Amino acid sequence: MIPRDDPLAREERKVERPPARGIRPEKLVEGGTVLAHADQHNDGTDPVTPSGIGAAEENHGHAVTLDVFILPTQDAHDAILDDWAHNTAGAANEVAFIWHVPAEFTGFNTVSVVMIPDAEETIQADIDVSVATAGEAHNADTRQALNETKDIAAGDVDAITEWSLLDVGTLLGDIAIGDVIAIRFQSDTDTLRILGLRINYGTGSGGGVTAHGDLSGVTSDQHHAQAHGPSDHTSFANWKVIYTDGSGDQQELALGAAATFLRSAGASSNPTMSALVAGDLPAATTSAQGAVELATTAEIDAATPARAVMTDALGDSNYGERTIGLLVSDPGGDAITTGNNKVYARIPSTMNGWNLVEVGASLLVVSSSGIPTIQVRRSRRASATSRGFADMLSTKLTIDATHYDSGDATDAAVINSSNDDVNEGDHIYIDIDVAGTGAKGLFVTLTFRLP
C-alpha cells in the first residue's frame, strides 16, 4: 500500500475527476448489470433476435432503470475531503440542483442528496422545490418542506450517506415528462459536506419495462411477430370479449346482459352473446346428463310425459296422498242407524301434520227414502287422560235417496279448513246424523295430504 503522502505515488496515479458541474452519463441497468439488447439469454445459447427468441423468452421485457448523478449548480466546489470535492451547506450556505425530466421517464425510484456527514448528530434541513415546464413561469409550482431531520449514526460519520427526498411529503409528486425541477437544500448544520444529487428512475412502458418495439434494432412488426399476451394491448374498449376472425384479425364483442353466454355459431362464424334456450343442451336420460323439464302436478298424476319430479309437486299430486277406508256397517247385516262413534281410525306418525283433502261415501244397499248424512269428527288428546273433539266438515257428507255414492250428491261435502289437520294419535270418528231408510253397507273414505 502506498502512503497517501508519497508524491511519486500521487503523480503516477491518474485519477479522472468529474467536471466541476455536470451530469454523469445515464446507464441502462437491469438487475444491477449494464446490458445491451444484443446480449445472450440462457447462458449464451439463445440470442435475443426476433427469430431466435425461445419459449422462455417470449413476451419478455427489460426492467430498465436509469441512474443520474447531478453536481451542485455552484461554479465550483468550495471544499475537498481527500479526493472528495464537495459543497458545504450550513447556516449561511445552500446547495441547489436542476434536472430536466426526459422523454423516457415513468417514475422515480430514488431521489437522494448524497453527502459525507462529519459528526454523529441529527441533521436539520429546509428543502425547496420548484417545478416548471417550457412556457411556464419559474415559480408556477413551488413546494417546501421545513425543518426536516435525519439522524446520523456513528457508523455514518465520514461515510457516503444518502438522504432520500422521496420520504419528504409530496415534494416530488406529480412530476411529468418535460418538467424542469429545481431543488434547493439548506441545513443549519455548521458543516455538511454535499457531494451531489442522485436520481434513479424507471423508463419505457409499464413503469420500468421497455417493450420490444421501443428497443434499438427491433421494429414493432418484429415485436408483434413474437408471442405476447393481453397485457401488451390496452387500446380495446371496456367490457369486451376479444376473438379473431377468418383473417386472423382481432375483433371485439360486447358482453351481453346478465345470464347470457358466449355462443359459438360454428368454427368459421362470428360468436354472439345470448341466453340459453331449450335446444342448447341435450335431453337428460337415465344414463346421460342433460337438460330436464320439471313435471307439473297434473303430469305426475298422469305419469306422462317423462319429466323430473320436484318434491313439492309430488306432494301435491295423487302420489303424495294417503287414503283411509272405513267400513261403517256390515253389508249383509242390519240397516244403518244414527249415532256417534260408529267406527274410527287412529292417525299414525307417518301422517303427522297432514290435512284432510277429500271425503267420500258409498252404500251397498241404497236408502229408499231419506238422505243418509255423515259427519267426520276428530278426537285429539288434550292430555294423557282427556281428549277434545272437532267436526272436520262444515257441510256434511251425504248420499241422496236411491243413490249409491256421495259423488252424485246434490250438495257436495265441504271440509272445514280450521279443523282439517291431523296429528299422530288423533282418532277420526264417523258419526251418522241421518240414516235414511234401509241403507246398508256404508263405506267412508278419507284422503290426506302433507301441506
Among 20-29, 73-82, 289-298, 382-391, which stretch is predicted with the lowest mean pLDDT?
20-29
For 423-447, give one letter per residue: b (16+ CB within 10 A) or e.
eeebbbbbbbebbbeebbbbbbebb
Average pLDDT over residues 430-439: 97
pLDDT (0 to 100) of residue 251: 87
pLDDT tens by residue, 1-55: 334 444 444 444 444 444 444 444 444 444 443 344 444 444 444 444 444 444 4
DSSP state of 347: P
Rounded Cα distance, 275 and 290, in Å: 17
For strands 180-187 and 122-132, give the pairing. Answer: antiparallel
pTM over 0.75: no
Q: For residue 434, is pLDDT > 90? A: yes
Q: What is the dihedral of CA 37, 38, 41, 43, to 10 degrees?
A: -130
Give which of 320, 336, 319 is closest to 328, Cα–Cα. Answer: 336
pLDDT (0 to 100) of residue 228: 57
CA 158 centroid distance within chain: 54
| H/E element, 230 | none
| Domain locations in the chain as residue ranges | 29-36+67-205, 320-449
CATH topology of domain 29-36+67-205: Jelly Rolls (2.60.120)
Q: For residue 178, is pLDDT > 80? A: yes
Q: For residue 429, is pLDDT > 60? A: yes
pLDDT (0 to 100) of residue 62: 54
Across-strand partners of 85?
A: 80
The residue among 31 and 390 whose pLDDT is bigger is 390
Domains 29-36+67-205 and 320-449 share a fold: yes
- Mean model confidence pLDDT for the chain: 79
Q: For residue 278, is pLDDT > 50? A: yes
CA Rg value for the chain:
49
CATH class of 320-449: mainly beta
The residue among 48 and 309 whose pLDDT is bigger is 309
